[in-house]
Structure 1
Amino acid sequence: MAGNGALSGAVIAVAGAGGPAGRAALRRLAEAGATVVGADNDPERLAEAVDAARYASGGAAVTGETVDLLDLDSTRDWALRTEKEFGRVDGLVHLVGGWRGSETFIKTSLDDWDFLELLLIRTVQHTSLAFFEPLQRSDRGRYLLISAAGASNPSAGNASYAAAKAAAEAWTLALADAFRKAGGAEELTSAAAILVVKALVHDAMRADRPNAKFAGFTDVKDLAEAVVGVWDKSAAEVNGNRLWLTEKP
């Protein structure tokens, strides 16, 4: 799909656009021809990501907004502005991430849960509620959650992280059911799906740890390619499904 405009005319929002995965997604979606609207809570990081995507894709339509995704009204305003300005919304890619863990189960800090509940669950709730109706109005709407294999195979020291990811997956599957019911007897056009990785890796991580193997990790560029590829499939093929980019546990 590289450079062939397979997403020409599509308008896709990216939550958490300032991180490494967000940068890769902005660039790849723009290369595929989409108008991309990124959001992040760090304006400097977001501006750098948007500029990099524009430069790499030859000046494609990539914009950014500083949005507090922990505030439902702010998130809804972002969705409304995006649809009003561009006339449609065909995707929301949720790339808000973060990790906290502990050496053992008994050493788990519930402060970690408080942090991860906001970052990994609340932002999913807000973006899905804010973008449900615009995505439902699209003839190829997609809500994509990036999750981790640990959600279905948690380790002792990752209790908070795995539980938060599992909750985010459950919420996204409920969104998929809402799309299914909203479509009624008509052919399904909008879908919610989960892309599952073991963990993500990017160039800076490899530079910092040149001897590390990062076995089973998914490169952010490969994740971005998989995100774009979801639009190759029908809504019925992906709705309510976990799309594994790593081995199932």
Structure 2
Amino acid sequence: MSRNQDRSLRGAVIAVAGAGGPAGRAALVRLAEAGATVVASDADPARLVEAVDAARYAHGGATVTGDTVDLLDLDATRDWAAKTEKEFGRIDGLVHLVGGWRGAPSFTETDLKDWDFLEKLLIRTVQHTSLAFCEALQHSDRGRYLLVSAVGASKPTAANAAYAAAKAAAEAWTMAMADQFHRAGGEQGTSSAAAILLVKALVHDAMRAERPNAKFAGFTDVKDLAEAVVGVWGKPAAEVNGNRLWLTEKS
């Protein structure tokens, strides 16, 4: 993507949920580079501080802040949204990067405790962030809610029943938010959008260092994911809203 498209993010206020992981770190750096004010959150305060400091260091002068937020607490998530809007006057995006995975040896050996874990991590956090940020994004002239999901949500395997089902539920919830934006836009069309970025899986430098002989075929590098996130703001809302944006080979 041309850096000229970064102008669509200059002055924007973008919240990033799950900012302490590798994907979150890459997103903070790229969003800051694009000129956005970045408001990061993570449940782990140490990881959050490291991620925020890295983004600030990479782009001196960029506004990157961090809040330790329990996204499993709806009131806490709403407080985060309200605080952000009060401090910066607007919210133009929420990038949802809260992730996790649990698998099983086979379908019949699926441990439903894995479902309980994934339901909270992959569904509840989407519900809470979308409900908390929806109105502010709807009022924005470039509001975007972005969920990162996996192709396995639509092609579940026997060993990934809990994970695929949780991802599919999160996707459905995000599509419902997209419909809200569509209805709110009326005849003039929506200026806000909710969309899904689809990957097979993510890879980053530390993973490559740990497994130097691995191919990671079809995986999306977290830096490429961050580039795709920024690119969404360069597209009209009508082209983005309610769509699945494929970052790997479509299956």
TM-score, normalising length: structure 1: 0.98
Instruction: String of CA shifts for 1:193-217, please: whole Å, max 9, x gaps.
Output: 0000000000000011111100000
Q: Which residue is 1:182 aligned to?
A: 184
Report if aligned partners of 1:2, 1:31 keep a CA contact under 8 Å in 2: no
Instruction: For 1:224 and 1:3, locate their aligned partners in 2 and report how far apart those are by CA, in whole Å.
Output: 16
What pairs up with 1:50-69 in 2 under 5 angstroms? 50-69=52-71
Q: Which residue is 1:121 aligned to?
A: 123
Supply the AA of the counterpart residue of 1:96: V
What pairs up with 1:94-173 in 2 under 5 angstroms? 94-173=96-175
Q: State the shift of 1:229 in Å.
A: 0.1
Q: Which residue is 2:11 aligned to?
A: 9
Instruction: String of CA shifts for 1:110-134, please: whole Å, max 9, x gaps.
Output: 0000000000000000000000000
Identity of aligned residues (%): 79
Supply the AA of the counterpart residue of 1:146: V
Q: Which runs of 4+ in 1 moved over 2 A?
A: 1-5
State the Cα RMSD in Å.
1.0
Report if aligned partners of 1:3, 1:32 keep a CA contact under 8 Å in 2: no
Is the alpha carbon distance of 1:137 and 1:123 closer, same or farther for their aligned partners in structure 2, counting shifts above 3 Å?
A: same
Q: State the shift of 1:5 in Å.
A: 4.5
State whether structure 2 residue 99 is matched by structure 1 residue 91: no
Instruction: For 1:175 and 1:5, locate their aligned partners in 2 and report how far apart those are by CA, in whole Å.
Output: 25
Report if aligned partners of 2:6, 2:234 keep a CA contact under 8 Å in 1: no
Instruction: For 1:162 and 1:76, locate their aligned partners in 2 and report how far apart those are by CA, in whole Å.
Output: 27
List runs of 5+ in structure 1 lacking aligned partners: none
Q: Which residue is 2:193 aligned to?
A: 191
Report if aligned partners of 1:50, 1:63 keep a CA contact under 8 Å in 2: yes
Report if aligned partners of 2:182, 2:189 keep a CA contact under 8 Å in 1: no
Q: State the shift of 1:187 in Å.
A: 2.5
Instruction: For 1:212 and 1:5, locate their aligned partners in 2 and report how far apart those are by CA, in whole Å.
Output: 33
Is the alpha carbon distance of 1:140 and 1:125 closer, same or farther for their aligned partners in structure 2, counting shifts above 3 Å?
A: same
Q: Which residue is 1:222 aligned to?
A: 224
Instruction: For 1:11 and 1:181, locate their aligned partners in 2 and report how far apart those are by CA, in whole Å.
Output: 24
Aligned length: 249
Aligned partner of residue 64 in structure 1, secondary structure: strand
Instruction: For 2:109 and 2:59, locate their aligned partners in 1 and report how far apart those are by CA, in whole Å.
Output: 46
Instruction: For 2:66 and 2:144, locate their aligned partners in 1 and report how far apart those are by CA, in whole Å.
Output: 20
Report if aligned partners of 2:5, 2:234 keep a CA contact under 8 Å in 1: no
Instruction: For 1:66 and 1:242, locate their aligned partners in 2 and report how far apart those are by CA, in whole Å.
Output: 29
Instruction: For 2:3 and 2:43, locate their aligned partners in 1 and report how far apart those are by CA, in whole Å.
Output: 29
Give the alignment partner of residue 208 of structure 2, picking from 206, 209, 226: 206
